[in-house]
């Protein structure tokens, strides 16, 4: 919570008064696709990114009178040094689930977010899966773009169905890995008994 949520709150607090006085500014937050859809292995991480999303949504409305804009980036797996380190200890379930969304170069993620900020968009998602996830999880999130709002209204139900299929697939991965570990454990115990 300190790193992923409170650091954003404190940084915002440090700059907000000056922005309000000038009646100008932009605050951009980096959440995560895991801040839209929580998956296996992210019980500590996802809630912090969901909290950041809630903070951004509320802040957006509070800052409207001051002409200060807010945006949120929901990056997928991004090919950074940190992600490479994470891969070394990543549970098999997470690796298999994460593989379904692909891996994106940092430059692509950054350029897409900068483009969306310049165009006045509130959210930035990356790739087709990210876009679909953004539509289906838009809920009460602010939306400035009429076209994006229409797409969300029209496709949310369909994308919810697709998301349920993905989630069923992810659940299957978790169950399969669990069963395999139980089987390996039983074999190991049997081998120890034979010794």
Closest among 121, 20, 110, 31 to 70, alpha carbons compared? 121
Tokens of 30: 């980096």
- Hey, which residues are catalytic here? 31, 45, 49
- Cross-sheet strand order for the sheet of 68-74: 25-30, 68-74, 123-125
Closest among 167, 176, 178 to 38, alpha carbons compared? 167
Tokens of 59: 């802040």
Partnered with residue 29 across adjacent β-strands are 72
């Amino acid at each position: 919570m300190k790193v992923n949520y409170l650091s954003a709150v404190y940084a915002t607090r440090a700059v907000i008064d000056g922005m309000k006085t000038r009646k100008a500014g932009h605050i951009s937050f980096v959440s995560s696709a895991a801040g839209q859809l929580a998956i296996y292995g992210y019980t500590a991480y996802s809630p912090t990114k969901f909290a950041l999303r809630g903070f951004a949504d509320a802040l957006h409305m509070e800052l409207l009178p001051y002409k200060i804009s807010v945006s949120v980036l929901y990056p997928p797996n991004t090919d950074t040094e940190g992600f490479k380190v994470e891969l070394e200890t990543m549970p098999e379930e997470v690796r298999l689930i994460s593989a379904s969304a692909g891996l994106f170069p940092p430059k692509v993620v950054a350029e897409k977010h900068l483009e969306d900020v310049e165009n006045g968009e509130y959210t930035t998602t990356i790739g087709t899966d990210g876009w679909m996830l953004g539509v289906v999880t838009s809920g009460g999130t602010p939306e400035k773009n009429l076209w994006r709002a229409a797409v969300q209204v029209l496709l949310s139900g369909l994308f919810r169905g697709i998301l349920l299929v993905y989630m069923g697939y992810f659940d299957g991965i978790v169950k399969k890995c669990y069963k395999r570990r139980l089987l390996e454990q039983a074999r190991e115990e049997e081998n120890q008994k034979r010794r």
